[in-house]
Amino acid sequence: MAAANRPRTPAVVLGTFVVALSVLVAAVALTSRGQTPPAVAEFAPQPVQQIKKALDAQPDEVADKGSGAGIGASPSPSPGTTRPGASRLPSPRPALVVPRIRQCVGDPPRQTEDPQSPPCVAYSDPKLDNGGATAKGVTRNEITIAVPTQFLEDTSIAPKLATFFNKRFELYGRKLVIQPFTPTGCASGSQPDPAKMRDDAVAVDEELQAFATLAYCNASGADHHYYDALAQRKTISVTDGNLTTGVESHYAAHAPYEWNVQPGVDTILANTAQFICGKLAARPPKYAGPAQARAATRKFGLIYTRAVDGTVPDISPLRNGLKSCGQSLFEVRDDQSSDASRNGVNTMVSMQNAGVTSVLCVCNNLDTRGIYMPAASGQGYEPEWVESTYINNDLDNSYNSGNAPPDQSSHVLGVIFRNKLLPKQDMPWYWALREADPNASPSAGAYYSANSRYEQLLLLASGIQLAGPHLTPQSFAAGLFRARFPNPGAEGAPYYQARVGFDGGRHTMSADAAMFWYDPQRPGTIDPSVPGAICYVDRGRRFALGGWTRSDPVFFSGPCS
């Protein structure tokens, strides 16, 4: 009796599985050859679909795979399910060496969900020789970053943010290592000390052996001594503040070592001039107090201060810009000092007597709110205060009732160069922090410093990624200058973030601004329990040099967000 024919289905299935597995192994073997990866500028990763999962619901990931954390949350996978694209091979997996693959976001692809993140580098061969100690503070495995701790800063945040960047950015086998230290050059309650700032720079170079440093503590615009001393020692610095010497010519003279997230003072003042010419000049000062608002047209006055180290910001971009539309300035220079009798009264009396309706203060916000505004109130003088990002004259707590007289803070308007400040759950620094530590719950008081450290690390990690494996200050600069940041949605909804990049070889990451006013009565964005908020014209639409059209925008009206 002939044997019965066996069913053929299992054989077909088995054969199909063997063929598929062979193709998969062959493909992996091809990609895992010890070939030299292309230069960073040649990477052309295909856009990868963003994983839309809330950051605080994200499970731990394998370190070599970036997990896209989206803005809109979707349900987490249920136990036992497999994510789309995950390996379905039986466990244990074959011991194969595969390239590091990171999740790209968007099209064109960028590195993370932050719309300001750099073009994505998705591929790195783990066999790649990164050159080891290619520069001071760089080893085969680590990049040392000095962090001068700032007044009341939550020092646990910077290391967690570094964890995020180590995971999501391509650092070619290395990781950022945070080295905090207590600076001596701007201790709270004392005047900034240039000699001690330079001593701190020596310690960063000789003791910490750092490749780069994040921003120094606030020294009222005089902290350039720290950065300049480090530049002489070939150490990179990244800040997000305004320095009295912080203009492009100064950064270029110290290249490739000094970098700033915020625009230079020259860019700030040139934009301020175009803003005034396009939006305020030759119109009544309708946002001033009753006496000044009766004037037919605005008259502009300028207060600018000399820092305690003797340096003065270059005011010429403001003067020259205003001349182009027929405007002049009544100017007063007031030098910073520790003299307790310095009260600003003479300055404000001279402004009032000159018929100034609109005061620009290129000075520390502590001087604006603590000296000049109280002096104006004492004279019954309520001008418009035309402010900017220069040394923090554009924050929720710059003019709240505990810091400034309400009769003055209700007349503040101007231009803001930093990114639009949103509730923390809508800010990239918070997404990064929660991805690194899902249990992180920073206080409202930590918002500003956390945002600053995130932006400093974003610039730094972008430059390291774009430099390629052979990391030096020179390759860091070349990578930033070569890159074209994707900038999705820049200058508009939903985030109204600044357009970023280093076009033309500039050493500052952004150059545009939005218009704002200050409302001392509305709940703050940073801390809703405290009244006083920065409010945005047209929800924060941004303008760059040459784009300030002639119009009459409405301040002090409409939504604050």
Separation between Cα atoms, residue 94 and residue 91, nearest integer Å: 8
Question: Would you place residue 90 in the very low, low, confident or very high pLDDT band (cuts 50, 70, 90)?
Answer: very low
**Same domain, yes or no: 284 and 350:** yes
Q: Answer with the residue of higher pLDDT: 318 or 77.
A: 318
Residue 193 lies in a domain: yes
CA dist 39 → 30, 126, 143, 310, 482 (Å): 19, 15, 20, 46, 12
In this predicted structure, the answer to whether residue 15 has a pLDDT above a threshold of 60 is no
319: pLDDT strictly greater than 80 = yes
Q: Are residues 152 and 280 in the same domain?
A: no
Residue 438 has pLDDT above 70, yes or no: yes
Is there a domain that residue 236 lies in? Answer: yes
Helix (H) or strand (E) holding 532: strand 531-536
% of the chain exceeding 90 in pLDDT = 73
Distance of alpha carbon 528 from its chain centroid, rounded? 23
Tell me: do 215 and 277 sit in the same domain. Answer: no
69 — pLDDT class (breaks 50, 70, 90): very low
Within this chain, do residues 360 and 272 fall inside the same structural domain, yes or no?
Answer: yes
The tokens for 455 are: 């932006």
User: Is 124 part of any domain?
Assistant: no
Helix axes 428-436, 447-467, angle to 10 degrees: 80
350 shares its domain with 287: yes
Do 285 and 351 lie in one domain? The reply is yes
> Looking at the structure, do residues 232 and 290 belong to the same domain, yes or no?
no
> Same structural domain for residues 408 and 474?
no
**Average of per-residue pLDDT across 60-88:** 32
Q: What is the CATH number of the domain that holds 274?
A: 3.40.50.2300
Same domain, 318 and 467: no
* DSSP codes joined into one string, 436-467: H-TT----GGGHHHHHHHHHHHHHHHHHHHHH
Q: Inform me whether the pLDDT recorded for 119 exceeds 90.
A: yes
Q: Which pLDDT does position 422 carry in this prediction?
A: 96
Find out whether 411 and 289 touch, Cβ atoms under 8 Å.
Answer: yes
Q: What mean pLDDT is predicted for residues 139-143?
A: 97
Strand-by-strand arrangement of the 236-239 sheet:
175-181, 142-148, 212-213, 236-239, 258-260
pLDDT of residue 376: 98
Bridge-partner residues for 359, per DSSP?
A: 301, 385
Strand partners, 332: 303
Alpha helices in 9-104 (DSSP H): 9-31
pLDDT of residue 16: 42
Which of 124-138, 166-180, 395-409 ranks highest by mean pLDDT?
Answer: 166-180
- Is 339 in the same domain as 319? yes
For residues 413 and 438, state if they share a domain: no
**Considering the domain boundaries, does residue 254 fall inside one?**
yes
Residue 189: which pLDDT band, with cuts at 50, 70 and 90?
Answer: low
Predicted local confidence at residue 316, as pLDDT: 98
Overall average pLDDT of the 527-552 stretch: 96
Does residue 216 contact residue 453 with C-beta atoms inside 8 Å?
no
Sign for the pseudo-dihedral over CA of 559, 539, 105, 448: negative
- Mean pLDDT rounded to a whole number for the chain: 84
Q: Please name which of 474, 451, 454 lies closest in space to residue 464, comparing C-alpha atoms.
A: 474
Residue 431 resides in a domain: yes
Structural domains of the chain, count: 2
38 in any annotated domain: no
Distance CA 510, CA 264 (A): 9
Smallest CA-to-CA distance from 71 within 535, 500, 514, 493 is with: 493
Q: For 330-368, write each residue's pLDDT tens digit.
A: 999 988 766 767 899 999 999 999 999 999 999 999 999
- Read off the pLDDT of residues 374-407 as tens digits, 9 standing for 90 and up: 999 999 999 999 999 999 999 999 998 889 999 9
- CA separation, residue 162 to residues 116, 429, 435, 441, 444 (Å): 17, 11, 11, 17, 21
Could you tell me if residue 9 is inside a domain? no
- Look at residue 214 and tell me if it is in a domain: yes
For the chain, how far is it from start to end, CA to CA, in angstroms? 87
Q: How far apart are CA 53 and CA 56, in angstroms?
A: 9
Closest CA to 172 of 480, 522, 443, 471: 471
Crossing angle (nearest 10°) for helices 265-275 and 316-323: 20
Considering the domain architecture, whether residues 287 and 387 belong to the same structural domain is answered as yes
Boundaries of domain holding 285: 266-418+512-543
What pLDDT, in 10s, does the model give residues 224-267?
999 999 999 999 999 999 999 999 999 999 999 999 999 999 99
